[in-house]
Structure 1
Amino acid sequence: MKKLMIAAFAVLFMPLFLKAQFTISGTVAENGKSLPGASVRLKSNGNGVATDANGKYQINNLKAGKYIVSVSFIGYQSIEKTISIDKDQTLDFDLKQSAFLADEVVVRATRATEKSATTYKNLSKEDIAQNNFGQDLPFILNNTPGVVVTSDAGAGVGYTGIRIRGSDASRVNVTINGIPYNDSESQGIFWVNMPDFASSVDNIQIQRGVGTSTNGGGAFGGSLNIQTSAPAQHAYAEVNNTYGSFNTLKNTVKIGTGLIDNKWSFDGRLSRVTSDGFVDRAASKLKSYFLSGAYYGKTDLLRINVFSGTEQTYQAWNGVPEAKLRGDLEGLKKHYENNLDYLYYTKADSLNLFNSNNRKYNQFTYKDQNDNYAQNHYQALYAKQFSEKFSFNGALHYTDGKGYYEEYKNKQKLSKYALPPANVGGVDVTKTDLIRRRWLDNDFYGLTYAFNYIPSSDLNITLGGAYNQYRGKHFGQVIWAQYASTATNDYHYYDGKGNKDDFNSYVKVNYSPASQLSLFADLQYRNVNYDITGLDKNRNTLDFHNKYNFFNPKVGATYFINDQSNLYASFSVGNKEPNRDDFTNLKAGLPVPKSEHLNNIEAGYRITQKDFNIGINAYGMFYKDQLIFTGEVNDGGDPYRQNVDKSSRLGIELDGSYTISPKFIINANAALSRNKIKNYVDYVSVYDENYELIKVQATNYASPDISFSPNTVLFGELVYKPLSGFAIALQEKYVSKQFMDNTQNDTRKLDAYWVSNARIGYDFSLKGIKNINIGLLANNILNRKYESNGYTYSSIYPWGTVTENFYFPQAGTNFLLSLNLKF
């Protein structure tokens, strides 16, 4: 299979040495007035160029044949022309102003363009739809450069995660229509709260590295800029259904009015996704809806979005002990003995540990060991085109989230819950089995804005920003106990608050002093006030008041070799505040964590031709005070994080596609990197024979790899289209080994894995049905046994060092079959 990947890359780059024959060139204008920046594309493959400062374009290296040329520009009606060429041709376009403002203005301020001198990839609605079988959004993004995804339940439904360039979700900035989505406190992304959201997405831009200024938290690995669906031209209805392995079921209904009187549109979606999961009991019951209504004027746009997600997911977040995963009975007995006093195994727990399927093992057996959460989003988006040179777009938003996870706990001390002993038959009982709920009730609201000014064809200025507030309540309840104490079910054994105010403002400037050179500058100021008060889940007092002022400059240049290729380079600065756990899990006696700082250098080359496109990018990410896990955990099993002085990520990324013929297409990308901490100190707790902490042992490491940072991530896809509407795709994904901590120890790693998937799609129509799509997604067709995530910790006892590794196995061969109808 590796040979196949190498061959794919070789074929991908062959066109660099081939010379095509003909050229299309011309001018795009409105009533004789040139339109710089208009998009001119060939519909057969999406390749194309933007017009220069004089409205001129040129597409080279075209073979003889028939082409559909599409021209579009914001605020103007698109034009298509079909031509046949057997020689160089001049093709001019005269555009007319559109009767309404297009939805793309909503995200324009936070998007990168060819002139932004940064690294990005755009995914269209079609790209998203062909991979949407009901799995969470990370699995739809899995085929993009440097991305690694994982699923707690093993099959892509439920709790899923994404890493970009080795950075976890808390370092990936996500916006929806320019509005921040990351949780304000953990800074993570919980896709389980947005089931089947991909069905309401029009396009996504993935920026790797710091990227351009956006709203919300700092982007230390990348950013996802999501635009929700724009209206269809005509009324429609869709019914999308998927069924597959592990009783995975997706039902989606979509309706839309199309444009009414060229001014109004209304769209709606209702979805349900359920799955038993690959892992035992890791079931998910997910529901969501998306409603949108818009008014389109000639110079303004108003859109109201209301969308919601509700999830009930059985917990599978503890993973599988290594001895269980490997089928090591002696090792499993040692694991059982090491954890007997901590986990308080019941007879049922013990039978589950030793008798369940090795790869599907789930520690939890309580029937309601669920995570339950609901999230409601409200967005009001407005855009105004004051003149050809000046425009505005902004948004008001509110998100309401509330939910809990429920746990059955054995032999808990009542004092841990601030409860007095229970009196049973005149005897005080201090320990009991109980069921607890840990709640999160939060509100997130604010506004975003952007003004765009284009005084001349060679200058573009954007002033934008946002002000957002988060108010979060954290509290816990004991809803049942074997031996009841004096409290009622609504008693809170802890109450904590997290209040966060986030303001940012940025100015972006694109200036082209010459036709082949574009300069880019982006200056952002961000102010964050974050207060954490009350009691945490372990009833420790919280009283943190943090203020951060960040300056994030970005500069770059793009040199256009010709209309098809360019070189770019940029330098960007990013800053990021610590998350809630860095304070609540702060080790006694240590100073509060510092904010993180990143200097990011990007340089690359892009070329786009009729049959192929290639992007090559080199980057350096140099961190100051990056927060990393220290190896030590507290009494509750929560890991500590501390700042390290210096760390870095250096890498090369390649991304390209090649149309071999009308029937064969190759898509491929590669991410090669070196990820290091300059000096790392690992801490391990030392206990006596009575499990009492004696000391913490420190070990120095000079230059270890950063955890969960594979040095090689490869993807290749061969698409075969034997007939119109029918396509078969074979996909290959390789991820090299990853260390689960920062000691670069081979006994604490995730093994490298190579996974093969296949996708089949067939589109056709019948009378009364505009389009019927039948799709099949076959995952892991070679039935590889692999783990995509895990964690580790160690302790030292008089009888030796004990290291516990836990893994999240992914499913073997599994299938998803879809039937989608459009009316």
Structure 2
Amino acid sequence: MKKTTQFLLLTVALIFSTVAMSQSTITGTVMDADLNAPLPGANIIEKGTTNGVSSDFDGKFTLTTQATSGKIVVSYVGYGSITLTFDGSKDLGEITLSADNSLGEIVIVGIADVAVDRKTPVAVSSIKASEIALKVGNMEFPEIMNTTPGVYATKQGGGYGDSRISLRGFDQSNTSFLINGQPVNDMENGWVYWSNWQGLTDVASGIQIQRGIGASRLAVPSVGGTVSIFTKAAERKQGGSVSQVIGNDAYTKTTASYSTGQNEKGWSSSFLLSKWSGDGYVNFTKGSGWTYFAAVGYAPEGSKHEFNFSFLGAGQWHHQRDVWVSIRDYQNFGDNGVDRRWNTNGGYLNGEEFNMRRNFYNKPLATLNWDYEISDNVKLSTSFYGSAGRGGGTGPRGNNFRNADIDLYPFNIDLTEHLNNRGRGAASRNPDGSINFDNVVNVNRTTTTPYTGGIGAYDGLLIGSNGFRDDGVNRSVLVRRASMNSHDWIGMISNLDFNAGKMRYSIGVDLRDYTGYHYRALENLMGLDGYYSTGNKNSAGEIIETTIKASPFKNTGLKGPMIDYYNIGYVGWQGVNGLAEYSNEDSFTAVLQAGLSNQSFQREDLFDQPTSPLSKKKNVGGGYIKGGANYNINDANNVFVNAGYISRQPNFDAVFPNFANAINPDLQNEKITSFEVGYGLRLPSFTMNVNLYSTKWGNRFVSRSFTNTGGTTGTAQFKNIEELHNGFELEAKYTVASNFKLSGMLSIGDWKYTKDFTSTLFDDTNTQIGTGTLYTKDAKIGDAAQFVSFIQADYGVGDHLFFDLGWRNVNNLYADYSIVDSDFVNPDNQGALKLPAYNLIDLGATYRFNLFGNNTSARLNINNLFNEEYIAESNTNIHADGSNPTYNGIDVRNSVWFGFGTTWNFSLKMEF
């Protein structure tokens, strides 16, 4: 027995000594190359294994390897990774990581087309996760991109999530937005509603803005460019974080996240939950929402298959300022000169904030990614995704304009004209100009007589309507309706990539199926007992007393009852694409891409067209071809060129104009041509990218309703509208010292219409009644600044305290307008209204420290530090003529959005 015990002890000792001899201890310190500061939380993984650690607060790490020799990979989100070789225990000293356009070690599914620095021949800018986390705070998500060339993002009316972005002068319906390679532009109108994606600030791991034709293989609306947003995946290291953000106007956001890390069987999972709320910088724009995210990954060691499932959503509600406000309204109804917080929409009901305009939406996105490494040279990447968006926006309903006491909202005039000069709505306005909705309820009830009609269940009740006025029904009322735009969307994208020597080939498919539900429901009867609806032509009329709640997590009324309208849009998409790329040892790359697509359109109207509720299906083909080349002259210099042609299908409303089921007989694809050249410089302390571009957007179709002098209604249809966007862009970074860095950009555009346009006029029976000409040649494109410069200084004080100061100059900004505005009916028109230039200064400070043994950071952002008063955009084109007062040279009758004054946010984040 004694000998047996000694033998076992000897065996165990030998085993442990063998294990010890097969291990090595690797130490080092991970540093930020730009600021020469430690990088806490960097990943250090033994290559080919799941064995890894994270750097501590001072960037230091100790890794016990599973083998005596091999390689380790050092990475940090938003930075390029470094692979180092070891042979036995070793202190690697300082390991510096630098940010680059590859977005570092973001977990990117194979369908995402990421532009690679000095290889992919497109103009590109990248924003890393650390910058997003630090600087967004309570800013709108698109605003983080304002520091990159070609981008112009504003808050619009100022409600949470009501921002918008344009790229190279093209609005967001003509810019492609991808989340992990999947298109998210609305399939009917191409728009992106950022309130649906409020949670992106919490889960984004990087943004890449590819200007111009971009590198995407999908047939997407990349007229201005492609914005790829990458979210977190199931992280392979264990850990989590908690953070708290506070900001101006009672803004608060609490976020918690946790990742299990990857276990021995290859499973990993990550979770995030965030809650935000705020009163809003603009009066009566309170909002609140939740962000939820979960990801599960499966990547067993040695397997050729890798799976990642993610579920992302951001349910929210917020009040809005959608009624455009004239400059004189800001002056007349606000406090002390121009009151940028003024909101014509809002007021109080039962002592609480109430607004006729309330947006609410919940759009969860589920994605399953499958990467299959068939061989060393062949890889299949597939993504299945689905989204079920539910929600809409509320607004006024009823002929309240017939009662001066509740005629609250100006139509085609400003509030100054409506209230002061016409005396409308004063009885329901408080002394400060806000709306007394309690009085609206009182007027609704006291001016409505009991119902006496034939629908017996409602005898004696107070019933309102939008037009019906018999049997005691009152049409001169105001209720709150909800206009719903819900959808069901499923899709699949798959790409097969294979390498053969210096060539890379790809073939892919893109399948989408979209159903959009458009209808109105009652949300608040404002003191009445019911609403008499005559919107459904299949019915003689019905009384509705059922209301929905304007909440993203409540019943949205999809199963009824509905009022006013109810129609469904069916959009299908089938696309194929191919790519061929030649790369010669990283010195020369040439790529050719092409794609074909078929888009199907069908419309079903369940209310307004009882004789033909379902339209015929219309199939429209489209496609693109694009290519380019990059040449690395040496390690420091490179040049690139690209060109492309896109034949893009029209939007849903162009296929079915005037909300009818009749297919437009003059349907035509839009034609886009693009050409670009660029130059890059990479030196140890200085990097620069410069490019010139020219994009022509032609063959556009626009339809506009009109009323002639005789009161006849009709439509004016414009074909072959053409724009030309030329420009110059520069982006640079200079490391002055180890703790001092300068970065900046310059964007100069020349965007205008190329010719005059002729329209064909039709009456309400679709009979041609004439033609007209609009004199728009050389008119400047509005709604985006054509000159923007930005410079930022980053300075570190020691290893823990960092400051950044940014200055942004905006010029050559023109009013947004429709080219069918009456301004352009005369040859001698003044063109687009030029708005005043403005300058914004933003200040930030970060302090990193150790709290309870965990990496912790505190961040303060102050935006618009000097409280600059500026017009961010104008919706009208009224030129000053001396007959009215002006503000900085602008006629005060113009309806504008002023930018926010000084705002701030403070965040505290602890990682564990």
Quote the residue 1:342 is aligned against.
none
Quote the residue 2:152 is aligned against.
148
1:400 is the counterpart of 2:413: no
Q: 1:759 to 1:628 in 2, by over 3 A?
A: farther
Quote the residue 2:21 is aligned against.
none
Query: How many angstroms apart in 2 are the aligned matches of 1:167 and 1:705?
Result: 13
Which shows bigger deviation, 696-705 or 754-763? Answer: 696-705
Aligned positions of 1:313-328 closer than 5 A = 313-325=318-330, 327=331
Query: How many angstroms apart in 2 are the aligned matches of 1:125 and 1:80?
Result: 24
Q: CA deviation at 1:576?
A: 2.8
Which shows bigger deviation, 211-220 or 189-198? Answer: 211-220
Q: 2:315 aligns with which of 310, 317, 320?
A: 310
1:487 is the counterpart of 2:543: yes
User: What amino acid is the match of 1:755?
Assistant: L
Quote the residue 1:364 is aligned against.
345
Query: How many angstroms apart in 1 are the aligned matches of 2:846 and 2:717?
Result: 46
1:661 is the counterpart of 2:737: yes
Quote the residue 2:487 is aligned against.
442
Q: 1:478 to 1:202 in 2, by over 3 A?
A: closer
Quote the residue 1:776 is aligned against.
860
Work out the percentage of aligned pairs sharing the same amino acid: 20
Q: 2:699 aligns with which of 584, 602, 625?
A: 625
Quote the residue 2:469 is aligned against.
421
Q: 1:630 to 1:492 in 2, by over 3 A?
A: closer
Quote the residue 2:651 is aligned against.
579
Q: CA deviation at 1:160?
A: 1.0
Q: 1:711 to 1:747 in 2, by over 3 A?
A: closer
Q: CA deviation at 1:42?
A: 9.6
1:131 is the counterpart of 2:119: no
Quote the residue 1:62 is aligned against.
none
* Matched-pair contact (CA < 8 Å) for 1:116–1:510: no
Query: How many angstroms apart in 1 are the aligned matches of 2:217 and 2:898?
Result: 35
Which shows bigger deviation, 592-601 or 410-419? Answer: 410-419
User: What amino acid is the match of 1:466?
Assistant: D
Query: How many angstroms apart in 2 are the aligned matches of 1:197 and 1:213?
Result: 21
- Ranges in structure 2 where 5+ consecutive residues have no aligned partner: 1-29, 37-60, 62-70, 87-94, 96-104, 348-353, 403-462, 533-541, 547-560, 762-768, 885-890
Q: 1:356 to 1:290 in 2, by over 3 A?
A: farther
Q: Once the two structures are superposed, what CA deviation does each residue of 1:80-110 show, in whole Å capped at 9, x if it has no partner? A: 379xxxxxxxx9xxxxxxxxx9933434546
Q: CA deviation at 1:385?
A: 0.9
Q: Once the two structures are superposed, what CA deviation does each residue of 1:610-644 show, in whole Å capped at 9, x if it has no partner? A: 21210001101012224569797999999988444
Q: 1:270 to 1:513 in 2, by over 3 A?
A: closer
User: What amino acid is the match of 1:806?
Assistant: S
| Partner SS, residue 103 of structure 1 | coil
**Cα RMSD between the aligned structures?**
4.1
Q: CA deviation at 1:587?
A: 10
Quote the residue 2:579 is aligned against.
508
Q: 2:847 aligns with which of 762, 769, 782?
A: 762
| Partner SS, residue 364 of structure 2 | strand
Q: CA deviation at 1:558?
A: 1.3
* Matched-pair contact (CA < 8 Å) for 1:202–1:230: no
Quote the residue 1:21 is aligned against.
none
Quote the residue 1:727 is aligned against.
802
* Matched-pair contact (CA < 8 Å) for 1:762–1:773: yes
Q: CA deviation at 1:816?
A: 0.6
| Partner SS, residue 633 of structure 2 | strand
Aligned positions of 1:63-212 closer than 5 A = 79-80=83-84, 103-109=107-113, 111=115, 114-154=118-158, 157-212=160-215
Q: CA deviation at 1:213?
A: 3.2
Quote the residue 2:623 is aligned against.
551
Q: Once the two structures are superposed, what CA deviation does each residue of 1:203-227 show, in whole Å capped at 9, x if it has no partner? A: 2221101212343631111111122
Query: How many angstroms apart in 2 are the aligned matches of 1:636 and 1:581?
Result: 22
Q: 1:712 aligns with which of 781, 787, 806?
A: 787
Q: 1:747 to 1:169 in 2, by over 3 A?
A: closer
Quote the residue 1:562 is aligned against.
634
| Partner SS, residue 524 of structure 1 | strand
Q: TM-score, normalised by structure 1?
A: 0.77
Quote the residue 1:389 is aligned against.
377
Quote the residue 2:894 is aligned against.
805
User: What amino acid is the match of 1:707?
Assistant: G
Q: 1:765 to 1:72 in 2, by over 3 A?
A: closer
Query: How many angstroms apart in 1 are the aligned matches of 2:713 and 2:856?
Result: 51
1:753 is the counterpart of 2:838: yes
Quote the residue 1:260 is aligned against.
263
Q: 1:521 aligns with which of 570, 574, 592?
A: 592
Q: Once the two structures are superposed, what CA deviation does each residue of 1:694-737 show, in whole Å capped at 9, x if it has no partner? A: 99975413211112242211111011112113211111112212
* Matched-pair contact (CA < 8 Å) for 1:103–1:230: yes
Quote the residue 1:596 is aligned against.
670
Q: Once the two structures are superposed, what CA deviation does each residue of 1:187-208 show, in whole Å capped at 9, x if it has no partner? A: 1111211223122122222110
Q: Once the two structures are superposed, what CA deviation does each residue of 1:396-440 show, in whole Å capped at 9, x if it has no partner? A: 11100111322234525999978643422xxx6554333222112
* Matched-pair contact (CA < 8 Å) for 2:623–2:648: no
Query: How many angstroms apart in 1 are the aligned matches of 2:705 and 2:730?
Result: 34
| Partner SS, residue 142 of structure 1 | helix
Q: 1:766 to 1:476 in 2, by over 3 A?
A: closer
* Matched-pair contact (CA < 8 Å) for 2:780–2:831: no
Q: 1:470 aligns with which of 493, 514, 517?
A: 514
* Matched-pair contact (CA < 8 Å) for 2:195–2:316: yes
| Partner SS, residue 246 of structure 1 | coil
| Partner SS, residue 136 of structure 2 | coil
User: What amino acid is the match of 2:590?
Assistant: L
* Matched-pair contact (CA < 8 Å) for 1:633–1:640: no
| Partner SS, residue 876 of structure 2 | strand
Query: How many angstroms apart in 2 are the aligned matches of 1:241 and 1:706?
Result: 41
* Matched-pair contact (CA < 8 Å) for 2:638–2:679: yes
Q: 1:363 to 1:43 in 2, by over 3 A?
A: closer
* Matched-pair contact (CA < 8 Å) for 1:312–1:372: yes
Q: TM-score, normalised by structure 2?
A: 0.70
Query: How many angstroms apart in 1 are the aligned matches of 2:31 and 2:128?
Result: 15
Q: 1:460 aligns with which of 499, 504, 508?
A: 504
Query: How many angstroms apart in 2 are the aligned matches of 1:530 and 1:154?
Result: 34
Q: 1:218 to 1:153 in 2, by over 3 A?
A: closer
User: What amino acid is the match of 2:852?
Assistant: K
Count residues with an aligned counterpart: 703
Q: CA deviation at 1:511?
A: 0.9
Q: CA deviation at 1:595?
A: 2.6
Q: CA deviation at 1:257?
A: 1.1
| Partner SS, residue 130 of structure 1 | helix
Query: How many angstroms apart in 1 are the aligned matches of 2:252 and 2:164?
Result: 21
User: What amino acid is the match of 2:688?
Assistant: I
Q: CA deviation at 1:129?
A: 2.2
Query: How many angstroms apart in 2 are the aligned matches of 1:616 and 1:697?
Result: 43
* Matched-pair contact (CA < 8 Å) for 2:111–2:495: no
Q: 1:216 to 1:287 in 2, by over 3 A?
A: farther
Higher strand share: 1
Q: 1:153 to 1:268 in 2, by over 3 A?
A: farther
| Partner SS, residue 363 of structure 2 | strand
Quote the residue 1:608 is aligned against.
682
Q: 1:465 to 1:804 in 2, by over 3 A?
A: farther
Q: 1:462 to 1:391 in 2, by over 3 A?
A: same
* Matched-pair contact (CA < 8 Å) for 2:645–2:671: yes
Quote the residue 1:790 is aligned against.
874
Q: 2:567 aligns with which of 473, 496, 502?
A: 496
